[in-house]
Amino acid sequence: MADLDAVLAAADANLDASLERLFELLRIPSISTDSAFDGDCRRAADWLVAELDRLGFDASRRDTQGQPMVLARGGAGSGPHVLFYGHYDVQPPDPLELWQRDPFDPAIVDTPTGKQIVARGASDDKGQLMTFVEAARAYRQVAGELPLPVTILFEGEEESGSKSLGPFLDAHLDELKADVALVCDTGMWDRETPAITTMLRGMLLDEVVVTCANRDLHSGMYGGAAMNPIRVVAKIVADLHDANGRVTVPGFYDGVEEVPADIAAQWGGLSFDAGEFLGEVGLRLPAGEAERSALEQIWSRPTCDANGIVGGYTGEGSKTVIASQASVKMSFRLVGGQDPDAIRDAFRAFVRERVPADCAVAFIAHGGNPALSLPLESPYLDAACTALADEWGKPAVLTGCGGSIPIVGDFKSTLGMDTLLIGFGLDDDRIHSPNEKYEFSSFRHGIRSWVRIIDALARM
Ligand code: BES
Ligand code: MN
Ligand code: MN
């Protein structure tokens, strides 16, 4: 085993170069959802392979039907075998005009609360995945080798549903099987308090396309007699919640569980201020189930949201038209034992009941995955908590996460592994939004945290 202080010192001594490497990765616009950027996703994958290779890992790019995977093996020793996962793809940067600088020209910006790294992907997830790579670098510099077997898996389709990942896991079970997965794609509780996320919401994506007349119609000539598909879609969306914010799809709450008492007690002690949380985005009034706290609404209760709705004329001026078609893209965040397939069926039945007999509805499935929770008795959890407390000078809190990371469910169901979700993002990092940033302090202490976690796991 290495001298931990020497590894931490090496990580700090490397910081300028670490940042320069992160900037190189941030300059590659690896937007997975838009095929115009396929070449850039491949470049990002190749960049990571080269970097891991230089670091002494046995690394390769693995092509898939979608964006390539990066797979690497390194480390040795009798400690648990860990699988580290992150994603190199990013969300599209638009609306571009709201960025204060080019989203793919990273910069350090000084603010009253410290330095920030500003670029698309700085926090989600390139800055985060590089914390692990840089920790591995420091460890190897000092000790020659990582103290436990490590497999690294970076994917390039997380932001567009991880479609290739399930088949990839199935096809490479032996290479990917490990004792525990480590994922750096979540946040801290606040800027001083580290967190381990033990509840992650699942997700279901579905699209509804309603067609009424066989062509767009003059709204004076046909208006009144012809059904309007926007009216049908609007009715569907409006019916999905009752006056108390509950979702009305029959069976939707099947499998939803109350938060276990020990977790509820932890959350109760977190002094979450709903007014502050919503205030930061210009809102005041929690919109979820009336009898639930805002923290429950984002962490432990399921949701139903329309993410986009289109139909008819949306250009300048006006046009008196009854469109032939209207559509809506829906997402559901799932918790506990909610079954994505059962909810898809129930939702589609709910929709069909609201489509008139002379109109048609088609559905486009965009994937789904169940929610996940980490067993609190996991021995890895204790080791990681201690390591985080040593770095931050405060115990780590156990949190939920309203977002989803599709693959984590498959790690459990396909590879039988639990996942430690440990990340250093902050709520105000503006992930998926203009002017995304990652705190320099998240980057530095993130690297140092992984050094300590690797060390603690190796000593188990
Ligand atoms: N890193 C996020 C998940 C996340 C969100 C963690 C908020 C912590 C706080 C991840 O990259 C993400 O955006 N996931 C998507 C998945 C979807 C595109 C299938 C999500 O949650 O919407
Ligand atoms: Mn992410
Ligand atoms: Mn994301």
| Cα 341 from Cα 252, distance rounded (Å) | 11
pLDDT in tens, 257-281: 999 888 888 898 888 999 999 998 9
Region 52-66 average pLDDT: 97
Which ligand 1 atom lies nearest to the CA of residue 124?
1
Q: Of the ligands numbered here, which is closest to the C-alpha atom of 187?
A: 1
Atom of ligand 1 minimally distant from the CA of 406: 19
**pLDDT exceeds 90 at position 243:** yes
Cα-to-centroid distance, 232 and ligand 2 (Å): 35
What's this model's pTM, rounded to 2 decimal places? 0.91
What confidence score (pLDDT) does residue 162 get?
Answer: 87
Give 315 Cα–ligand 1 centroid separation in angstroms. Answer: 32
- CA distance linking residue 355 with residue 277, whole number of Å: 38
Residue 2 has pLDDT above 90, yes or no: no
CA of 319 to the centre of ligand 3 (A): 37
Name the amino acid, one letter, at 227: M
Measure CA of the first residue to CA of the last residue in the chain; give whole Å: 12
Q: Which amino acid is at 31?
A: I
Pocket of ligand 1 (CB under 6 A): 124-125, 158-159, 161, 185-187, 203, 401, 403-406
Q: Which of 88, 158, 427 to mutate to test the pocket of ligand 1 (most atoms within 8 A of CB)?
A: 158
Q: Which of 162, 203, 405 has most ligand 1 atoms within 8 Å of CB, for mutation?
A: 405
Give yes or no for residue 1 having a pLDDT over 80: no
Indicate which residue's Cα is closest to atom 6 of ligand 1.
Answer: 186
Compute, in degrees rounded to 10, the torsion defined by CA atoms 121, 126, 131, 133. -170
What are the strands of the beta sheet with 437-439, ordered from one edge? 107-111, 114-118, 437-439
Q: How far is the CA of 404 from the centre of ligand 3 (A)?
A: 9
> Which atom of ligand 1 lies at the shortest distance from residue 432's CA?
13
Per-residue pLDDT tens digits for 382-425: 999 999 999 999 999 999 999 999 889 889 989 999 999 999 99
Is the pLDDT confidence value at 255 over 90?
Answer: yes
Question: pLDDT class for 233, splitting at 50, 70, 90?
Answer: very high
Can you tell me the distance from the alpha carbon of 354 to that of 344, in angstroms, rounded to the nearest whole number? 16
Percent of the chain having pLDDT more than 70? 100
Taking the CA of residue 162 as reference, the ligand 1 atom at the shortest distance is 19
d(CA 357, CA 347): 18
Q: Which domains does the chain have, with CATH numbers?
A: 4-200+371-458 (3.40.630.10), 202-256+302-369 (3.30.70.360)
Exposure letters 21-39 (e unless 16+ CB within 10 A, then b) = bbbebbbbbbbbeeeebbe
Cβ-contact 449, 387 below 8 angstroms: yes
173-223 pLDDT, tens digit each: 999 999 999 999 999 999 999 999 999 999 999 999 999 999 999 999 999
Read off the pLDDT band of 380 (50, 70, 90). very high
125 Cα to the center of ligand 2, angstroms: 5
Tens of pLDDT along 97-124? Answer: 999 999 999 999 999 999 999 999 999 9
